[in-house]
Amino acid sequence: MRVVFRVDASTQIGIGHVMRCLVFAKKMQENGENVSFICRKHSGNLINKIRTHNFNVFELELLENSKIDNKLAHSHWLGVTQHQDAKECIDILQSKEIDWLIVDHYSLDEDWHNKLNKYCSRLMVIDDIADRKFQCDILLNQNLGFYKHDYKDKVPNSCKLLLGCYYALLRSEFSNLREKSLEKRRNTKEIKNILISMGGIDFHNKTFSILQKASNDLNFVIVLGGSSPHNKMIKKYANNKKNIKVIIDADNMSQLMFDSDLAIGAGGVTSWERCCLGLPTLLYVLAENQRKIAENLEQLHAVKIVDNLEENLKNILNNLFFWKNMSEKSQSICDGSGVERVIEWLK
């Protein structure tokens, strides 16, 4: 089977879309499928990272003074019009026989899908926000709180909807460590080790503002993406603190979560990783498209959305029952085996 992903990362978009597509792609690659990517060369792209996983990447140039659409809320993320992007992708795909084109991009809707459908046998969309129309055979939304009625009149009647955390695209290292992690949570007597992970970019440097409120009585591990613009400053700050460790581009996130008693983090894909390992979280909503997911998680008592970090942290440190309840609620949301379930629908 020949599969192509159309997905971007940038300082504006973040890295989550590419990272979840990589999980998906690697599992298909393990199954013997031929997988490639199409990515635009935005500032903060992850093209080189994708290539380190032995995938071919077709690069789309970042065009200066290019026109952009204003049709969609996230049209500006694309950097060009949908028509221009479609034309460039068609130039790449027209000589190939593509079984599945998988699209993970808020800037692309049915206009783009209709143009590209002619150049692939089937088309799949990965979405989070249900804010536009799609022309696809499968649509995956791995988030809480989305139902078939959210996509009413937005997808063809023949489209298969894969909705909810049952289909969350997590690396196998999370499901492999799940039982051991849940056992550790059951036996935890003290909250001492805190993981701070504010996304791969953390453009507004929320990490630093959190560290300003950090207690010397706790141990902190800071995870930052290589494209984050504030890495040097955070590392310099941490050099003077024995209880703060900074890791850039962590390749053992499951182990870091396992070793932690509490996470302070952003929404997005990593929410399901924390849930899989039963890691309680004080959650920041850093983008409007994360709000619904965050509120659904809080409603289930799986996270606490931060309104006052010092107060929120004090409350959870002094109330182990609250912490354990959050761990139990979060672990019931995602078991980490979603990628295998999604692949079954592609066969």
Inform me whether the pLDDT recorded for 139 exceeds 90. yes
pLDDT > 70: percent of the chain: 100
Say whether pTM exceeds 0.85.
yes
pLDDT at 288: 83
pLDDT > 90: percent of the chain: 87
Kindly state the average pLDDT of the residues 197-211. Answer: 89
Taking domain 172-331, whether its CATH number is 3.40.50.2000 is answered by: yes
pLDDT at 123: 98
Inform me whether the pLDDT recorded for 227 exceeds 90. no
pLDDT at 267: 85
pLDDT at 6: 98
pLDDT at 49: 95
Kindly state the average pLDDT of the residues 250-263. Answer: 96
Inform me whether the pLDDT recorded for 247 exceeds 90. yes
pLDDT at 185: 97
Kindly state the average pLDDT of the residues 215-235. Answer: 90
Lowest mean pLDDT among 16-30, 108-122, 200-214, 318-332: 200-214
Greatest Cα pair distance in the chain: 62
The one-letter amino acid code at 216 reads N
Kindly state the average pLDDT of the residues 1-22. Answer: 95
CATH topology of domain 2-163: Rossmann fold (3.40.50)
Inform me whether the pLDDT recorded for 226 exceeds 90. no
Inform me whether the pLDDT recorded for 64 exceeds 90. no
**Please, where in the chain does CATH 3.40.50.11190 lie?**
2-163
Kindly state the average pLDDT of the residues 317-334. Answer: 96
Inform me whether the pLDDT recorded for 86 exceeds 90. yes
**Please, where in the chain does CATH 3.40.50.2000 lie?**
172-331
State pLDDT tens for residues 291-312.
Answer: 988 999 999 999 999 999 999 9
Inform me whether the pLDDT recorded for 289 exceeds 90. no
pLDDT at 199: 84
pLDDT at 229: 87
Kindly state the average pLDDT of the residues 147-158. Answer: 97
pLDDT at 57: 98
Separation of alpha carbons 100 and 73, rounded Å: 26
Look over the chain and give the mean of its residue pLDDT values, rounded to a whole number.
Answer: 95
**Local confidence band at 107 (pLDDT 50, 70, 90 cut-offs):** very high
Kindly state the average pLDDT of the residues 4-17. Answer: 94
Encoded tokens for 325: 């309840």
For 233, phi then psi, to 5°, come to -65, -45
Kindly state the average pLDDT of the residues 335-346. Answer: 97
Encoded tokens for 49: 């990272």
